[in-house]
Amino acid sequence: MIPIEYFLTLGAILFGLGLFGVLSRRSAILILMAVELMLAGVSINFIAFASYLDTDAFSGLIFALFVITVAAAEVGLALGIVLRLFRERRTSNVDEASDMRW
Amino acid sequence: MLKRIPLPAQFDRIIIGGGITVGAIGVPLGIVLVTLVAFGVISAPEMVFFVAAIIVILGALGCVLLPNIVHAALSLTATLIGVAALYLLLMSEFLALVQVLVYGGGVVLLLLFGLMMTNAQDDPVVTDGSQKPFAFLLVSLLIGTFITLLLSGDWGNPTAHVVPFELFGERLFREFALPIIIVAVLLDVAITGALVNVHTASNDLPEESE
Amino acid sequence: MPDISVTIGMQQAWLLPAMPVVAFLIISFFRKLLPREGDFLAIIGMLGILLVTLFIIVDFQGFFHDGEFHPGEANVYAFDWVRISADNFLFLIEFSTYIDAISIVMLIAISIVGLMVAIYSTGYMQGEDRYGWYFAVLSLFVAAMLLLVTSGSLVWMYLAWEGVGLASYLLIGHYWERQSAAEAAKKAFITTRVGDVGLLIGIILLWKATGSFDIQTIIAAATSGQIGETYLTVAMLALFAGAVGKSAQFPLHVWLPDAMEGPTPASALIHAATMVVAGVYLIARFSPVYEVVLVARDVILYTGLLTAFLAASMGLVASDIKRVLAFSTISQLGFMFVALGVGAVGAAMFHVLTHAFFKALLFLGSGSVIHATGRQEVEYLGGLRHKQPITAATFIIGSLALAGIPIFAGFWSKDEILHAVSSYASPFVYIVLAGTALLTAIYTTRLVLLTFFGDPRDRSAFDHAHESPSSMTLPLLLLGLLATVSGFFVFDAVGNLFGFSGGIGYLVYLHHPHSFHIDWAFASVATVSSLTGVIIGWVYWHGGAERAIKARTWSPDLHALLVNRYYLDELYQGIINRVVLGLAGIVAWFDKKIVNETGVDGGAQFIGYFGYRLKFLQTGKIPNYALGIAAGILVLSVMVLARA
Amino acid sequence: MTDIFGQTLNLNYGLLLPEIVLLLSSMLVIGVDAFKRQLKVSGNVPVGLALSGLLVALALSILQVNVDEDFARLVQIDSFTSFFRILFIAITLVIIVGSHEYIEKSVSHVGEFYGLLLLATVGAMLMASARELLTAYLAIELLSFSLYIAVSLARSDQRSGEASLKYVLLGGVASASLLYGLSMIYGVTGATQYHEISAVLSAGDTGLTTPLLLGLVLIIVGLGFKASAVPFHMWTPDAYEGAPIPVTAFLSATSKAATIALLLRWFGGPLLPIASDWQFILSGLAVATMVVGNLVALQQVNIKRLLAYSSIGQMGYMLMAIVAVGSGYASDATSAVLVHLAGYIITNLLVFISVTHFFNQTGQEEINSFKGLAQSNPYLALMITAGLFSLAGMPLLVGFFTKFILFQAVVSAGHLGLVTIAVVASTVSLYYYLMVIRQMYLYEPEDGTEQWKLSLTGYLTTLTLFVSLVVFGLWGTPLYAAADAAASMF
């Protein structure tokens, strides 16, 4: 059988890679994708815990289901805002959306 | 007939290039893994896990590193499908299904549309922020710390169990009725948000700069 | 004893702050509707205060028996303001009043000077903008001041402490059209707030140790050794920090000279007679505790000594009448702290009382001069005794009292302080203090000579000058009387005559009541030093301005040092500019440079990979902000990893 | 009804009536506004609907003050919940009444705006009442989502979209962190119910200390973002500046208060057994937050950014008090936090609504545009002055009373060092508040001294807030009594 540590490690790596994407990308949409990666890491955690450690109540599965739903909603919401930004400034580059600073 | 579908011309390149990449990396890895299984070093489920994990990690790397946005988005699809495979390994067919439907079918498509609408060039190459090297260093440390912290715990030796489908549904809709309502409202908010922002852009603004 | 004391007495001490609060509310809301913008309400309030004070004094006498006061019953519990009873503690802030001899001295000073100032202001502020508002704030100030000296609870005292600060801020900035007034108001507010932080910390420390805000409970706990010595010392020093700010002691004295931007009568009340002695009051109130923590007492002694000397030397060269008086106030407050530092609470409170009268008199007199001539630099005055005889006469009386010439009030109280110092502290302290008294006499003489004697140096101002209206001269005369005679209360016989059983000695020498015996040796030393000062001043400045200018040429460096007040203001401004704003700048710079540019540009440069792209870089904010979050995650998780 | 384990479930929807009413009225507002022309209703109908919904919900919440019951083991309706329900509804009411002119003038999509404010209120209420992690998480997202959009609704202001983008992207990162943390808590304890988590954690060593600590860190990061704790605060000034002013007020009041409510529920409840593990993290954050917030505020020129940094500093004080919650004084420290929160909100709303009216008149939001306000509108200048003085903690105003209670609670929990820093920081804060006051009182107005007046609702709200500012400043016992009752279950 596969040890649970495998899944946890994979989850951590996915979370980290997602964070890396957020830090290094400049396109708003790519940042959104990176956030999705982070959330995928989280879902793996939840489901691994539910299947391995909480087999009676499996709350983690339900949690993961909601995480997926919320993530999808977030993408829709954020895309709307990105589109608006694009219409206003002809760019989806977050570095150029920095009128407000210090 | 294919030419009538308004797909960017790069799609064929993606399919060919992606195929070659997968073939070049996947076949040797597959051979190694099958050999390991054959000699009993790892079990068959572990082999499946490793295949899926490699797809997931490669896809994630592609998603955060590839300079072409469309490639990155498709790479994300690979990751998400790999994650769905992991869910199957975790005995959760339902969530695997949801993952493929919502992500593979919905979210990625949405993201692709977003890409098309905001950056409608044929070859949308992006440059990354200059804090990339710094971020790389930071995130490597971060992943290292996370894994150390996770593996220092004594997780015991648990095994995965299947959750019966109807039990799942029953628990979801009985005990978690309220979260479902909240999520419904949440989706409603998200749609409202998307609508008002797109609407603002087309109506409320003065003329565009160009 | 009149029967009425049954109905109004110490139990009704809450009336004291209540009356001016009512006056404040009515004037500030309805001043446009009232005749004379409601100034009479302020005066009525002050009269009421004086009356109640008299009743309280009469009532207080009732606690005098067996040759001692037994004022325990004077602590009047009124109501629970905040009552929080939780599982493991009771948090209770009461509203209570506490009257003892120390409060009564303060009450006398506040009520008399307050009334005089209010009457005087009707003449002085005549026809100015915001006339009514001035009287409203004056009432607010008096209310807060009375609350301060009657409160039995530290919390209410702190509230009042901040309240007088606020009123002072408003009055200093009364002519806010003038940039200097606005700046002075801000300076006073912020400088005293520095001390207030100390006071607040002290209150919290004391509350933490005793679980109570009631002053008498705290004193009882502290003197019975319930609190560790180091802890208590820190707490009492924190309280003293509050006193240093409010009473303009070194190193927080810088605000008081600038505070002279306010209307002169307000300066007389707030920055001479009452608010600035709040610090003295605070230390006197806690004097039993300072008996226990001798280290703190030494700090008080030397702070007071240093302040007294420095301020007197600065007073020698200041050219603005009001600033000379301000330096003299700082210096005299230093005298009071010296007295407190040697444990002579009675001498300190006696000096508070006499100082209130003669310093208020001097301020009001200088106000009369300014009112008449429109000038306040002594270089442009002179010869005014011909034009303003009453002002000149009363001003001279006040000056004699300040200089410590016998029979005037200041002589007795200063003599008391010197006497106390000689028996408790080292000869060094005594010599410095006596020297300061000499300096006091010199600068006082200088001020009088340059203002009222010699030839007028600004003809047009002199020609327009005239004696002030009776609303202004009447208070001057009354205060002149008090500045002359109030010292006699130190004698038992005089005290008895006016209803102070046992003389003021009994009244203010709470813990060690004693009768006043004049020590002729000391008295003559003090007299000689004062007279010497007057003579030096006379010889030097008599005859006009050339001599005054010579003072500058005698030692230009010293003169510049004194005129610039030892460059302390510049030092503070520098500290504020460099340290506080600099710190803010560093953080802002950190945001800009480290997070934005080093995190983005510099980090890239450092690694040398994206360096060539620097010129294309904008300040990319979102990834940057995310970097903050990520770095936070990393730091925190490494921290827990290290701990685990 | 029973769950799958045969335990009974209380599905009494009556408990959720305030939330349901708000939900329905928000739908109604959005619907009516969308079909305004077809229904031939006047422009005032949406705001009227929103207000009546709020009033009904307020009445229902007051009726439920003494209830102590759970709904399906997901939310707990108790005195703590009631305190926050009433607080949140009142905030939304005040904001809508106080700034409806601004909303109609400077906000695009008015109907959606009101609807979103109501939904955000529901999210905040659920955050305070949740007793289960999933519900709490969804409540957080409901509040955040509504605010992401509300921030973007300033009419023809490019900053609005930018602010919203920053908020939504960084918010996504923060909620991913939060979720990762929650997954760790869930993995270690195997439970999502607060009381079960508490039981597992207080039972002692699980052998999983390090994953638990990782979870703790990530939870603190996620909530620290919502609470604008340094270094997760960077979105705050930008979002505040770009948002319509009522949304800024909402961000600084409801959003912060809801986060504090959640922090109290979590750190005073399930995570209390491991207090020693999170106290030092929170102390560090609290210190950084107080120091950075108050120092950077000194450099600001925009009033909204100034208030943003000031609210960051204020959150530092509250984080400090949450540290005290872990020191065995949970009940006292909690009531102190609640008192301070209430006082802070009253004050902050007064300032924000005054600034809203100032903006309505002048269209300016730079600090130096307040020049001479004491002459052109002395009433408003007084209101702003009172509010800023109260924020600085000047005596006789509510800010002093609540800060005093807060500081003494932290001191009695044994964190004197933290309080010293807080006192110094709050002294620094006086300096930048005085910068604004100085502009109003010490300078001549730039464009003449033409007097102007507020609208009736403007006078009504500011005066109400001002009176409570003074009354609670002089006599805070009722405020404390309410907070103490709300904190009684800790």
Q: What is the pLDDT of residues A4-57, one digit of tens each?
A: 999 999 999 999 999 999 999 888 899 999 999 999 999 999 999 999 998 888
Are residues B129 and B42 located together in one domain of the fold? Answer: yes
Prediction ipTM score: 0.93
pLDDT in tens, D278-305: 999 999 999 999 988 887 787 778 899 8
Q: Which of residues 31-50 of C touch D (CB under 8 A)?
A: none
Distance from CA of D236 to the nearest CA of B (A): 20
Distance from CA of B139 to the nearest CA of C (A): 8
Give residue D148's domain range. Answer: 13-489
Distance from CA of D479 to the nearest CA of B (A): 32
Mean pLDDT of all residues in D348-375: 90
pLDDT in tens, B159-193: 888 888 888 888 898 889 899 999 999 999 999 99
pLDDT in tens, C363-386: 888 888 888 887 777 777 777 777
Residues of C with CB under 8 A from a CB of A: 588, 591-592, 596, 617-623, 626-627, 630, 633
Distance from CA of D134 to the nearest CA of A (A): 6
Are residues C593 and C544 located together in one domain of the fold? Answer: no
Are residues B31 and B128 located together in one domain of the fold? Answer: yes
pLDDT at C607: 31
Tally helices (H) and strands (E) across chain C.
Answer: 29, 4
Contact residues, chain B, for C636 at CB < 8 Å:
none
Of the candidates A80, D314, D404, C267, the one whose C-alpha atom is nearest the C-alpha of residue B110 is A80
- Tell me which of D174 and D7 has the higher pLDDT: D174
Query: Per-residue pLDDT for D346 more than 90?
Result: yes
User: How confident is residue C600, by pLDDT bands cut at 50, 70 and 90?
Assistant: very low
Beta carbons of D334 and D272 less than 8 angstroms apart: no
Mean pLDDT of all residues in B150-163: 88
Residue B141 included in any domain: no
Tell whether B130 is within 8 A of chain C (Cβ). yes
Query: Per-residue pLDDT for D110 more than 80?
Result: yes
B145 with C613: Cβ contact below 8 A: no
Residue type, D225: F
Residue B140 included in any domain: no
Residue B147 included in any domain: no
Beta carbons of C339 and C347 less than 8 angstroms apart: yes
Beta carbons of C503 and C412 less than 8 angstroms apart: no
pLDDT in tens, D253-281: 999 999 999 999 999 989 999 999 999 99
Contact residues, chain A, for D241 at CB < 8 Å:
100
pLDDT at A6: 93
Which of C597, C609, C610 is the best residue to mutate to test the B interface, defined by the most B CB atoms within 10 Å of its own CB? C610
Which of B128, B131, B152 is the best residue to mutate to test the C interface, defined by the most C CB atoms within 10 Å of its own CB? B131
Are residues B41 and B117 located together in one domain of the fold? Answer: yes
Q: Which residue has the tokens 């005093």?
A: D404
Are residues B50 and B96 located together in one domain of the fold? Answer: yes
pLDDT at B119: 66
Of the candidates C136, C289, C132, C152, the one whose C-alpha atom is nearest the C-alpha of residue C216 is C152
Tell whether C575 is within 8 A of chain D (Cβ). no
Mean pLDDT of all residues in D417-431: 84
Say which range, C270-274, C635-639, D353-357, has the weakest mean pLDDT. C270-274
Are residues C455 and C583 located together in one domain of the fold? Answer: no
Residue D427 included in any domain: yes
Nearest beta carbon to residue B128 from set A13, A24, A79: A24
Residue D1 included in any domain: no
The CATH number for B12's domain is 1.20.120
Say which range, A74-83, B92-101, C256-265, has the weakest mean pLDDT. C256-265
Residue type, C640: V
Q: What percent of chain B has pLDDT over 90?
A: 29
Are residues C267 and C297 located together in one domain of the fold? Answer: yes
Distance from CA of D103 to the nearest CA of B (A): 15
Beta carbons of D482 and D83 less than 8 angstroms apart: yes
Last residue within a domain, chosen from C540, C563, C586: C563
Taking the C-alpha atoms of residue B87 and residue B108, their distance in angstroms, rounded to an integer, is 19
Kind of pairing, strands C68-69 and C64-65?
antiparallel
Tell whether B145 is within 8 A of chain C (Cβ). yes
Are residues C70 and C53 located together in one domain of the fold? Answer: yes
Name the burial class of residue C50, with classes exposed (0-12), middle (13-18) and buried (19+) by CB atoms within 10 angstroms of its CB.
Answer: middle
Contact residues, chain B, for A92 at CB < 8 Å:
118-119
Q: Which residues share a beta bridge with C64?
A: C69
C617 with A95: Cβ contact below 8 A: yes
A31 with D169: Cβ contact below 8 A: yes
Give residue C99's domain range. Answer: 3-563
Are residues B109 and B46 located together in one domain of the fold? Answer: yes
SS3 state of residue C620: coil
Are residues B33 and B129 located together in one domain of the fold? Answer: yes
- Helices C101-124 & C131-150 angle (0-180, nearest 10): 180
Peptide bond into C406 cis (omega under 30): no
Taking the C-alpha atoms of residue D225 and residue D234, their distance in angstroms, rounded to an integer, is 9
Q: What is the mean pLDDT of chain D?
A: 90
Residue D232 included in any domain: yes
- Tell me which of C481 and D181 has the higher pLDDT: D181
Query: Per-residue pLDDT for C613 more than 60?
Result: no
Distance from CA of A46 to the nearest CA of B (A): 10
User: How confident is residue D307, by pLDDT bands cut at 50, 70 and 90?
Assistant: very high
B142 with A19: Cβ contact below 8 A: yes
Are residues B99 and B172 located together in one domain of the fold? Answer: no
Nearest beta carbon to residue D234 from set C84, C189, C628: C628
When computed from its CA atoms, the radius of gyration of chain C, rounded to whole angstroms, is 27
Q: Which of residues 429-488 of D touch C (CB under 8 A)?
A: 430-431, 434, 438, 441-442, 475-477, 480, 484
User: How confident is residue C287, by pLDDT bands cut at 50, 70 and 90?
Assistant: confident
Residue D384 included in any domain: yes
Are residues C324 and C445 located together in one domain of the fold? Answer: yes
Residue D38 included in any domain: yes
Contact residues, chain C, for D170 at CB < 8 Å:
622, 625-626, 629
Residue B63 included in any domain: yes
Of the candidates C644, C441, C453, C434, the one whose C-alpha atom is nearest the C-alpha of residue C542 is C453
User: How confident is residue B28, by pLDDT bands cut at 50, 70 and 90?
Assistant: confident
Q: Which chains touch D (3 or more CB pairs under 8 A)?
A: A, B, C
Number of domains comprising chain B: 2
Taking the C-alpha atoms of residue C231 and residue C114, their distance in angstroms, rounded to an integer, is 39
How much of chain A is in helix, strand and coil states, percent to nearest 5?
Answer: 80, 0, 20
Residue type, C208: K
Are residues C172 and C39 located together in one domain of the fold? Answer: yes
Mean pLDDT of all residues in B33-47: 85
Are residues B97 and B178 located together in one domain of the fold? Answer: no
Query: Per-residue pLDDT for C12 more than 80?
Result: no
Are residues C440 and C576 located together in one domain of the fold? Answer: no
Residue D3 included in any domain: no
What values do phi and psi take at D488, rounded to 5? -65, -20
Residue D94 included in any domain: yes
Tell whether A96 is within 8 A of chain B (Cβ). no
Q: Which of residues 606-625 of C touch B (CB under 8 A)?
A: 607, 609-610, 613-614, 617, 620, 623-624
Q: What is the mean pLDDT of chain C?
A: 76
Nearest beta carbon to residue D217 from set C87, C580, C633: C633
Q: Which residues share a beta bridge with D2?
A: D8
Residue B150 included in any domain: no
pLDDT at C346: 79
Name the burial class of residue C344, with classes exposed (0-12), middle (13-18) and buried (19+) by CB atoms within 10 angstroms of its CB.
Answer: buried
Taking the C-alpha atoms of residue C233 and residue C211, their distance in angstroms, rounded to an integer, is 18
Which of D2, D4, D151 is the best residue to mutate to test the B interface, defined by the most B CB atoms within 10 Å of its own CB? D4
Q: What is the mean pLDDT of chain B?
A: 83
Give residue B74's domain range. Answer: 1-135
Are residues C529 and C590 located together in one domain of the fold? Answer: no
User: How confident is residue C592, by pLDDT bands cut at 50, 70 and 90?
Assistant: low
Taking the C-alpha atoms of residue C331 and residue C309, their distance in angstroms, rounded to an integer, is 7
Number of domains comprising chain D: 1
Nearest beta carbon to residue A102 from set C588, C617, C627: C588
**Max mean pLDDT range (B131-135, C128-132, C486-490):** B131-135
Query: Per-residue pLDDT for D468 more than 90?
Result: yes
User: How confident is residue B209, by pLDDT bands cut at 50, 70 and 90?
Assistant: very low
Of the candidates C260, C240, C259, the one whose C-alpha atom is nearest the C-alpha of residue C250 is C240
Number of domains comprising chain C: 2
Q: Which of residues 118-177 of C touch D (CB under 8 A)?
A: 155, 158-159, 162-163, 166, 173, 176
Taking the C-alpha atoms of residue A86 and residue C287, their distance in angstroms, rounded to an integer, is 72
Last residue within a domain, chosen from C539, C563, C587: C563
Nearest beta carbon to residue D232 from set C88, C624, C629: C629
Q: What percent of chain D has pLDDT over 70?
A: 99
Nearest beta carbon to residue A67 from set D149, D173, D179: D179
Are residues B13 and B103 located together in one domain of the fold? Answer: yes
pLDDT at C44: 87
Which domains, ranges and CATH numbers included, belong to chain A? 4-91 (1.10.287.3510)
